[in-house]
Amino acid sequence: MFKKILIYSMAVIAVGYIVFALLFLTKEEEGALCKGLKISITDGGSGALTDEKIASLLAAKGISPVNKPIENADCQAIEAVIGKLSVVEECQAYKTHRGYIGIDIDCKIPIMQVFDINGREFHIDDKGAVIDGISNAMYLPVANGFITTEMARKELLTIARFLQDNRFWNEQIEQIFFTAKKEVLLVPRIGNHTIELGCVNNLEKKLDKLRKFYQKGLNTVGWNKYKKINIEFDKQVICTKRDK
């Protein structure tokens, strides 16, 4: 009997302590100030966002929670502002139990740098989304010439995806140039020649043909013998010799 009373008393005390602790902590948190931001950024090495940029953005928009009552922090507003950045794929903001606002950001991963017909610089990801604000140098193919934003999301995206999935050509192709007729010229990293691709259709087939030519032809006659290599037409590789 005494044992049962003791167990019951200990249970009552434990419940009372928990209730007291919750009430005390809740009251304490109500007046607590936000200690700062805990920011986690996944960007694939693009460096488009930094902790400092995010903190400055929130301050400029008047929604920075730092040194303000954490209970008033508007996590949805923080997510909305950061989510509008072209480089952001997903953003989550939340309150931590230690008085910080946590912000987890997943960025879009650029696969090509583009200079369009108007001189605007941007990147595209593997879905064709335009990404602004990446200023650091990245080891990515560069596309320029008569490119519109719409072309970047279609014809250029086809090339960008192919290069991303093909290690040999991703390492080989340095530049993509679009002519006014939407014909494509490729500039390789190795060899002093230009590849005339024509239109983007049958891309894999054309480049596979060129790779075989590289292996059987240029490895024999030399990589600097031709100034142009045309692979536009089916089952043909047309070479233009370099002027002596």
Q: Which residue blocks in the chain are alpha helix, DSSP H?
A: 2-30, 51-60, 75-83, 149-152, 155-165, 167-172, 203-213, 219-221
Q: At residue 163, what are phi and psi to the nearest 5 degrees?
A: -65, -40
What are the structural domains, with CATH classification, of the chain?
36-107 (3.10.20), 110-241 (3.40.50.11690)
Residue 123's DSSP bridge partners are 113, 131
Interacting residues of 145 by C-beta distance below 8 A, sequence separation 6+: 117, 176, 177, 178, 179, 185
Looking at residue 118, what is its pLDDT?
A: 92
Looking at residue 138, what is its pLDDT?
A: 67
Q: How many CB atoms lie within 10 A of CB 73?
A: 19
CB–CB of 190/234 below 8 Å? no
**Which tokens sit at 42?**
């996944």
From CA 12, how far away is CA 7, in angstroms rounded? 9
Crossing angle (nearest 10°) for helices 155-165 and 203-213: 50
- Provide the whole-model pTM: 0.78
Looking at residue 224, what is its pLDDT?
A: 76
The one-digit pLDDT tens for each residue of the chain (244 residues) are 544 454 554 544 544 445 444 444 444 456 689 999 999 999 877 788 999 999 999 999 999 999 999 999 999 999 999 999 999 999 999 999 889 999 999 999 999 999 999 989 999 999 999 998 887 656 789 999 999 988 998 999 999 999 999 999 998 999 999 999 989 999 998 878 899 999 999 999 999 999 988 888 777 777 778 889 999 998 889 988 877 6
Secondary structure tally for the chain: helices H, strands E: 8, 12
Using the structure block, give the residue that is written with the tokens 């259709």: 201
Q: Which residue blocks in 84-154 are alpha helix, DSSP H?
A: 149-152
Tell me 155's DSSP state. H
CB–CB of 94/37 below 8 Å? no
Interacting residues of 81 by C-beta distance below 8 A, sequence separation 6+: 57, 58, 61, 63
Looking at residue 234, what is its pLDDT?
A: 87
Residue 238's DSSP bridge partners are 230
Crossing angle (nearest 10°) for helices 75-83 and 51-60: 110
From CA 178, how far away is CA 242, in angstroms rounded? 23
Tell me 72's DSSP state. G
CB–CB of 226/236 below 8 Å? no
